[in-house]
Structure 1
Amino acid sequence: MTMPNPAGDLAVLRQVTDRLRASVETVISGKTEVVDTALVVLLAEGHLLIEDVPGVGKTMLSKALARSIDGTVRRIQFTPDLLPSDVTGVSIWNRNSGEFEFRPGGVFANVVVGDEINRASPKTQSALLECMEERQVTVDNVTWPLEAPFMVVATQNPVEMEGTYALPEAQRDRFMAKVSMGYPVEEAELAMLQEHTSRNPLDSLEPVTDVTEIRKLIATVSQVHVSPAVQRYAVALATATRTAPELLLGASPRATLQLVRAAKAAAAMAGRDYVLPDDVHRLARTVLAHRLLPSLEATRTGRSVTAVLDVLLDQVRVPSDPGA
């Protein structure tokens, strides 16, 4: 019988994530923190929301990550006329067989790139709810499972942009993390001009891993230990958001669970088989902020959700003995 080898599994995980990071950064340079967050979400079996103004590389990042994994990839361009059946699939009558046949929609892939998700109607956006949470699709009372790994990488423009719909709270809560690309530094933008004007770097991007290996890495992450003290710290952070007067909507229990899962993936990528409070603290803004709603008073005084969350992170006591 083969004995488990946690150290060896973690070493393999770091090697694969290093390859993935290097692959994505051949297309998106100068954004290592954003790329690492995407890898954390992948290993934690979550979904990633990328929000920023047009033209900063949101779609390029999502495509680069998808192409770096030798699995099925589908891209859905969200538009106002997109129908829920375009996302999930539809049953069509086959005259030859005399039966209904299911035609899978865009979500039937290992990595689903949802481009400009907030340009579709709320009805179409809601078609993703069951897919993202339960990893299955139900059409005409028949349930179709989605193959693991399954990750939605969605991009959206700020709600102030013309032609956008705000994502409903239930939709935002299903995204494990939200990141913002930001404008590139001057050196990275100069490098982009030199490399991207003559060719599309995505065309030469080759897979550096496959879905079988990703499944093994996800299993390795699931074995990372989270002590009761760290669990209590994560719950305390979530509770603080629910009782803060500056917040109208706090973090859900799903948010707490995903915060811990993300921390486990981050710990594994750091070569540890246990989670530190610092892992939870570092990921709290990325995992929690997009789920929170400011109160009317906070909005009136111009206090952002991230500013309120930063105060809460300073107030909640960090465990002195994380192994307890």
Structure 2
Amino acid sequence: MTLAPENAAWFANIFGQLTDNVGQALLGKAPVIRLALTCLLSEGHLLLEDAPGTGKTILARALAATVQGSHSRIQFTPDLLPSDITGITMYDQRKGAWEFHKGPVFHAIVLADEINRASPKTQSALLEAMGESQVTVDSVRYPIERPFMVIATQNPIEQAGTYRLPEAQLDRFLMKASVGYPDRAASVQVLAGSANPDRTASLKPLITTKAVAEMADAVKGNHVDEAVLDYVQRLVEATRDDPDTQLGVSTRGAIAMVRCARVWAAAHGRNYVLADDIKELAAPVWTHRLVLTPEADFAGCTSTTVIARALAGVQAPMQRAAR
């Protein structure tokens, strides 16, 4: 069903309230909060690459508290096992039957802290959950209820004893962002409230998880003109043809952009997507999906540079609203 203008206005109003509510716990970080909410309502997952102590855990807890959802935190370590994430099947002697004990992945918001510190085998335990919203243990499939969002973190500084995330797993993340340190005014506020550092404890839920799922379903009908879809594809092809890339944006990455753009446009009160939405989301949605050539990497070229070249070289379509 096509998203009506009045429904887009309602969506933008709720989106703004959710942003403000999470912002009470994560001060001065409205841009990253909006990206996280876009990721949640696009039914995707977020990768945060940041230094310790920047508020990644607070973001996850504040999101869960705002949407009245459950929250779990998994500290990834080299000895973490896949079953520590998915859960295990145990024999109950009283009942005389095998029972599945759910792991921490069965929550609305899951914080996978320092995901690159676990072995590739353990990292891959998240792949099925992230891609299929289900877990298979002992050949039995267990669905994960909506909404479901993984917020994974990795430290860009300390690389000793870590395992680089493979491209297949990076591509499963809808977005990659950075919280960063707050500005001076927000930092002063944080210091003033240091006696009670957990600001998420005072947050009140604004909507239910059922309402989140309904919002995610409603925004799927947001209009994307064929010219905008063509623009997305031409940008994708530009990243693939760039001489500094070994691997450009995948088809999954192109689909991810359209999903995010529908939510982003509705968050701005529109029932149609503009090329400007694509431009604003290009970096968070696509930079982590590119693989540069060794020569480009050595020369200091970055994925951000490649995305910027694609945006500069591909002409955007004229603005067109919904029919």
- Asked if Structure 1 and Structure 2 have the same fold, meaning a TM-score greater than 0.5 normalized by the shorter chain, the answer is yes
Work out which of the residue numbers 25, 28, 35 in structure 2 matches 1:27: 25
1:224 equivalent in alignment to 2:236: no
Identity of counterpart residues, as a percentage? 46
Other structure's SS at 1:154 match: strand
The aligned counterpart of 2:171 is: 173
Other structure's SS at 2:193 match: helix
Deviation for aligned residue 1:321: 5.4
Q: Deviations over 1:184-216 (max 9, x none)?
A: 211111111002334421221221111111112
Deviates most, 220-229 or 179-188? 179-188
Amino acid at match of 2:18: L
Work out whether residues 79 and 119 of structure 1, in 8 Å CA contact, stay in contact via their aligned partners in 2.
yes
Work out whether residues 229 and 321 of structure 1, in 8 Å CA contact, stay in contact via their aligned partners in 2.
no
* CA root-mean-square deviation: 1.8
Amino acid at match of 1:287: V
- Hey, what's the Cα distance between the residues in 2 that align with 1:5 and 1:273? 6
Go from structure 1 to structure 2 and tell me whether the alpha carbon gap of 1:192 and 1:321 turns closer, same or farther (over 3 Å shift). closer
The 4+ residue runs of structure 1 with deviation greater than 3 A are 159-163, 321-324
- Hey, what's the Cα distance between the residues in 1 that align with 2:162 and 2:205? 33
TM-score (norm 1): 0.94
1:71 equivalent in alignment to 2:101: no
The aligned counterpart of 2:100 is: 102
Q: Deviations over 1:144-166 (max 9, x none)?
A: 11111111111221164443321
Deviation for aligned residue 1:287: 0.2
- Hey, what's the Cα distance between the residues in 1 that align with 2:184 and 2:80? 37
Work out whether residues 159 and 166 of structure 1, in 8 Å CA contact, stay in contact via their aligned partners in 2.
no
Q: Deviations over 1:98-139 (max 9, x none)?
A: 322111111111211212212211111100101111111111
Work out whether residues 65 and 203 of structure 2, in 8 Å CA contact, stay in contact via their aligned partners in 1.
yes
Work out which of the residue numbers 53, 68, 85 in structure 2 matches 1:87: 85
1:146 equivalent in alignment to 2:144: yes
Q: Deviations over 1:4-58 (max 9, x none)?
A: 9823422332232122111111111221111110111111111111111111112
- Hey, what's the Cα distance between the residues in 1 that align with 2:161 and 2:61? 23
The aligned counterpart of 1:255 is: 253
- Hey, what's the Cα distance between the residues in 1 that align with 2:140 and 2:255? 29
Work out whether residues 3 and 219 of structure 2, in 8 Å CA contact, stay in contact via their aligned partners in 1.
no
- Hey, what's the Cα distance between the residues in 2 that align with 1:224 and 1:5? 5
The 5 Å alignment of 1:39-50 reads 39-50=37-48
Work out whether residues 229 and 323 of structure 1, in 8 Å CA contact, stay in contact via their aligned partners in 2.
no
The 5 Å alignment of 1:236-247 reads 236-247=234-245
Runs of at least 5 residues in structure 1 that lack an aligned partner in the other structure: none
1:57 equivalent in alignment to 2:50: no
1:14 equivalent in alignment to 2:12: yes
Amino acid at match of 2:42: A
- Hey, what's the Cα distance between the residues in 2 that align with 1:145 and 1:8? 34
Work out which of the residue numbers 261, 266, 277 in structure 2 matches 1:268: 266
Deviates most, 92-101 or 41-50? 92-101
- Hey, what's the Cα distance between the residues in 1 that align with 2:221 and 2:3? 11
Other structure's SS at 1:70 match: coil
Amino acid at match of 1:120: A
Deviation for aligned residue 1:323: 5.9
Go from structure 1 to structure 2 and tell me whether the alpha carbon gap of 1:316 and 1:49 turns closer, same or farther (over 3 Å shift). same
Go from structure 1 to structure 2 and tell me whether the alpha carbon gap of 1:120 and 1:5 turns closer, same or farther (over 3 Å shift). closer
Deviates most, 130-139 or 56-65? 56-65
- Hey, what's the Cα distance between the residues in 1 that align with 2:61 and 2:160? 24
Count of paired positions: 322
- Hey, what's the Cα distance between the residues in 2 that align with 1:10 and 1:315? 32
Other structure's SS at 1:196 match: coil
Work out whether residues 261 and 273 of structure 2, in 8 Å CA contact, stay in contact via their aligned partners in 1.
yes
The aligned counterpart of 1:311 is: 309
Go from structure 1 to structure 2 and tell me whether the alpha carbon gap of 1:51 and 1:272 turns closer, same or farther (over 3 Å shift). same
Q: Deviations over 1:268-307 (max 9, x none)?
A: 0011111111111110111000111111111121111111
Runs of at least 5 residues in structure 2 that lack an aligned partner in the other structure: none
Go from structure 1 to structure 2 and tell me whether the alpha carbon gap of 1:322 and 1:5 turns closer, same or farther (over 3 Å shift). closer
Work out which of the residue numbers 115, 118, 130 in structure 2 matches 1:117: 115
- Hey, what's the Cα distance between the residues in 2 that align with 1:159 and 1:141? 39
Work out whether residues 157 and 164 of structure 1, in 8 Å CA contact, stay in contact via their aligned partners in 2.
no
Deviation for aligned residue 1:141: 1.0
